[in-house]
């Protein structure tokens, strides 16, 4: 299934909104850390520190560069595989099956270490570079991911989801509860779309439908990921 130009424009718009929100929130954490560097070492999410969580979230940007470059190299060498993954939900299903929580956690820590002494500045530079590159694309370009080859039009919404969910996590770590967070509307809509697709794909739509319409709370531990 191919996107229309307007579909691609909406996809990029949502990604742009999610990216800028992440950059803004990370900059706010850096301002707080200027007076207390220990902020970066506070609990971020699970076993991650705030710095680790920023590092993990930044991979939603850096992997775009990495996987576009890898696909281009394979195409140039004549060894390109066909597109295997055809939707953001399918990508998540494959990616989650291929990785483990321990591997994901370690990658987050390793990436955090590469951000240097000024994580927020590094994130802002990465975001500017990736947004500029995405602006040159038309959506048909392939990305070679560990979960299989996917068009950037289907990969980008997965990055929007990662940026949106983890920026919310970052705010939560800074004492801003979900009820007080203002998620950019385009990013929220794109993220919820992917999550709804995942719920349908996994056969757990009914509990989600009942919860969001006020009919029943979600079961303990419910997740579509």
Residues 106, 47 contacting (CB under 8 angstroms): no
pLDDT value at residue 1: 44
pLDDT value at residue 4: 56
Distance between CA atoms of residues 145 and 130, nearest Å? 17
pLDDT value at residue 103: 85
pLDDT value at residue 173: 97
pTM of the model: 0.94
The fold for domain 5-182 equals 1.20.120
Distance between CA atoms of residues 21 and 163, nearest Å? 8
Distances 90 to 14, 110, 128 between C-alpha atoms, Å: 19, 26, 28
Backbone phi, psi, residue 60, to 5°: -65, -20
Distance between CA atoms of residues 165 and 86, nearest Å? 22
Q: Which DSSP symbol is given to 220?
A: T
Q: What does the CA dihedral 82, 86, 88, 94 come to, rounded to 10 degrees? A: -60
Token pair 């919860």 is at which residue? 211
Per-residue pLDDT for the chain (225 aa), expressed as one digit of tens each? 445 557 999 999 999 999 999 999 999 999 999 999 999 999 999 999 999 999 999 999 999 999 999 999 999 999 888 999 999 999 999 998 877 778 888 888 999 999 999 999 999 999 999 999 999 999 999 999 999 999 999 999 999 999 999 999 999 999 999 999 999 999 999 999 999 999 999 999 999 999 999 999 999 999 998
Which of helix, strand or coil describes residue 149?
strand
pLDDT value at residue 3: 54
């Amino acid at each position: 299934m191919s996107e229309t130009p307007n579909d691609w424009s909406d996809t990029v718009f949502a990604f742009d909104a999610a990216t800028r929100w992440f950059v803004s929130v990370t900059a706010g954490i850096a301002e707080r850390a200027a007076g207390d560097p220990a902020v970066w070492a506070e609990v971020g999410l699970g076993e991650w520190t705030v710095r680790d969580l920023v590092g993990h979230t930044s991979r939603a940007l850096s992997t775009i560069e990495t996987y576009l470059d890898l696909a281009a190299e394979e195409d140039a060498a004549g060894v390109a595989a066909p597109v295997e993954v055809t939707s953001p939900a399918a990508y998540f299903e494959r990616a989650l099956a291929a990785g483990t929580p321990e591997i994901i956690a370690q990658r987050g820590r390793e990436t955090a270490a590469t951000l240097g002494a000024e994580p927020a500045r590094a994130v802002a530079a990465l975001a500017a570079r990736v947004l500029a590159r995405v602006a040159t694309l038309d959506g048909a370009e392939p990305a070679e991911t560990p979960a299989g080859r996917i068009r950037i039009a289907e990969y980008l919404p997965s990055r929007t989801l990662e940026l949106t969910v983890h920026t919310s996590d970052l705010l939560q770590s800074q004492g801003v509860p979900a009820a007080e967070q203002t998620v950019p509307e385009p990013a929220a809509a794109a993220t919820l779309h992917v999550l709804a697709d995942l719920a349908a794909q996994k056969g757990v739509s009914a509990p989600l439908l009942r919860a969001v319409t006020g009919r029943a709370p979600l079961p303990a531990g419910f997740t579509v990921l």
